[in-house]
Amino acid sequence: MNKVYQKKHELWLSITFASFAINDEEIKSRLYDFSQIAFRHMKWLAADILSNADNYNYDRDMMLYKKDNVFDILEALVKEVESIQSVYGKGILADRIKTDDTYLLEYLAQVLRSESKNKPVTAFNMKREWLDKNLEQDQIDALTLFLFEESYKEYELILVYAYMQARTEDITQYNVFQDLIDESHFHLKSFGDMMAKLGILALPREVHETTYVIKDLKQFVIDGIAEEEAAKVMCKELSDAIKDEELSKFFDFINYQESYHIELMRKLL
């Protein structure tokens, strides 16, 4: 069962990062919707695994599709979705997951039939230019560092909170974890889209078991509050350093959201 979970984890990441890489707003939006469905599959698989006294982890063995055009990304995605079908097994949950994947394949086939959709992909060109703005090099460097660090943090938090949510019977904890997961999804999407615009899109590094197997929940929450405080400082520093009003306001917005995350975590305490 852990192998099934790993394959779905990898597919979730593949769909998510394909949505970040592609500029076409319709394809981007639809792929992101499918990525959220894949994440729900992970949630249901986790519950199924635990109910059978089994376990899972967040190990992965994958590469990001660093392609030059939309069709190359989608064709690689088709192959991955098709390859996972045989591992789901049988049962009500397996049938649901398979039918969701079948519709994803149908959508991908629709796009691949429209040659006009095959646009260049610039998410991996490493140009490090922010749209048509002439940001100074030190601002680009600060933005680059922030995005790499924070995209990993949000990916890590999604997995950690999901891991703990699957194991709690406390309704307050469950709801707080869900809010934090949803918020981290939004932040990961925001940062992933920004990385793609800069041409530096990359997978976050793998999350080690010592990070998500929590022995002391209270200490984890205390440490998490400190981490959110540090993220607020980074957001404020970046907002002050970047001489672009639109970007500065975005990082102020993220900063205020981090403030509420701290309040949610205090609720856990």
- The closest of 30, 20, 266 to 155, measured between CA atoms, is 20
* pLDDT the model gives residue 14: 97
What are the tens digits of pLDDT across the range 98-123? 999 999 999 999 999 999 999 999 99
pLDDT of 133: 83
Pull the structure tokens for residue 191. 């940062």
Q: Distance (Å, rounded) from C-alpha 195 to C-alpha 140?
A: 11
Residue 236: per-residue pLDDT: 85
Q: Which residue has the tokens 């199924």?
A: 48
20-66 pLDDT, tens digit each: 999 999 999 999 999 999 999 999 999 999 999 999 999 999 989 88
Q: What pLDDT was estimated at residue 217?
A: 87
Q: What is the pLDDT of residue 109?
A: 98
Residue 120 φ/ψ, nearest 5 degrees? -65, 150
User: Looking up tokens 């039939």, which residue turns up?
Assistant: 113
Task: Label residues 15-54 b or e (16+ Cβ within 10 Å = b).
Answer: bbbbbbbbeeeebbebbbebbbbbbebbeebbebbeeeee
> Where in the chain are the domains?
1-121, 122-269
* Number of alpha carbons in the 13 Å side-chain half-sphere of residue 155: 22
pLDDT of residue 1: 76
Q: Is 178 exposed, middle or buried (0-12, 13-18, 19+ CB in 10 A)?
A: middle
| Closest by CA position to 203, among listed 259, 147, 248 | 147
Q: Quick one: pLDDT at residue 134?
A: 84
What does the pLDDT read at residue 244? 86
Look at the domain 122-269 and name its fold: Ferritin (1.20.1260)
Taking Cα atoms as reference points, which of 24, 2, 17 lies closest to residue 76?
A: 17
pTM, to two decimals:
0.95
Query: How far are the Cα atoms of 162, 176, 182 from residue 173, in angstroms, in the given order?
Result: 11, 5, 14
Q: How many CB atoms lie within 10 A of CB 56?
A: 21
User: Nearest 5°: CA angle at 130, between 230 and 74?
Assistant: 95
Looking at residue 225, what is its pLDDT?
A: 92
At the fourth CATH level, which superfamily is domain 1-121?
A: Ferritin, core subunit, four-helix bundle (1.20.1260.10)
In the chain, which residues have pLDDT < 70? none
- Give the helix ranges, DSSP H, for the chain: 2-21, 25-51, 70-84, 92-112, 137-165, 171-198, 209-212, 217-241, 245-268
